[in-house]
């Protein structure tokens, strides 16, 4: 069973098959491990960091790459309760990241410095959801 840390090959192929030339927004739902689990040969493997601390390392190292490609966090919130859905899906981080287009997202995840930074995310995260959406007009009502 997947812990939903990284996309599967099929999920990534489906992402790449979608239109690339328009803005995208990525809903991020993240739950941290109590203690980060780095690969044994990583300098932080025995540091005893929490998942939250390791995720801050990920943000510090990946943030400039994200921003340099035109990305920005457009919404961030703190989890309080699940009203509809599995009670086990509680989240430590909830945010929406906007990218100018899918090319920017792909440039980020293939950037060698980002690939070095992602080890912190992998060490930090117990489970996550990353949901691509296309921006649309907002309104005063549903529908």
Cα–Cα distances (Å) from 19 to 22, 29, 45, 104, in that order, read 7, 23, 39, 13
For the domain bounded by 25-133, which CATH number is listed? 3.30.70.100
Q: Say how far apart CA 6 and CA 17 lie, in whole Å.
A: 18
37-82 pLDDT, tens digit per residue, is: 999 999 999 999 999 999 999 999 999 999 999 999 999 999 999 9
71-119 pLDDT, tens digit per residue, is: 999 999 999 999 999 988 999 999 999 999 999 999 999 999 999 999 9
The whole-number pLDDT of residue 1 equals 39
The contacts of residue 118 (CB under 8 Å, 6+ apart) are 58, 62, 109
- pTM of the shown model: 0.91
């Amino acid at each position: 069973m997947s812990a939903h840390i990284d996309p599967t090959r099929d999920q990534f192929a489906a992402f790449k098959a979608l239109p690339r030339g328009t803005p995208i927004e990525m809903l991020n739902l993240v739950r941290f491990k109590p203690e980060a689990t780095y690969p044994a040969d990583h300098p932080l493997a025995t540091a005893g960091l929490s998942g939250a601390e390791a995720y801050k390392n990920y943000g510090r190292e990946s943030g400039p790459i994200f921003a340099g490609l035109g990305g920005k966090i457009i919404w961030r919130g703190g989890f309080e309760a699940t009203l509809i859905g599995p009670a086990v899906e509680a989240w430590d981080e909830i945010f929406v990241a906007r990218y100018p287009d899918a090319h920017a997202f792909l440039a980020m995840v293939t950037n060698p410095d980002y690939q070095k930074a992602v080890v912190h995310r992998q060490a930090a995260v117990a489970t996550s959801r990353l949901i691509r959406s296309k921006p649309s007009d907002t309104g005063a009502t549903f529908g």
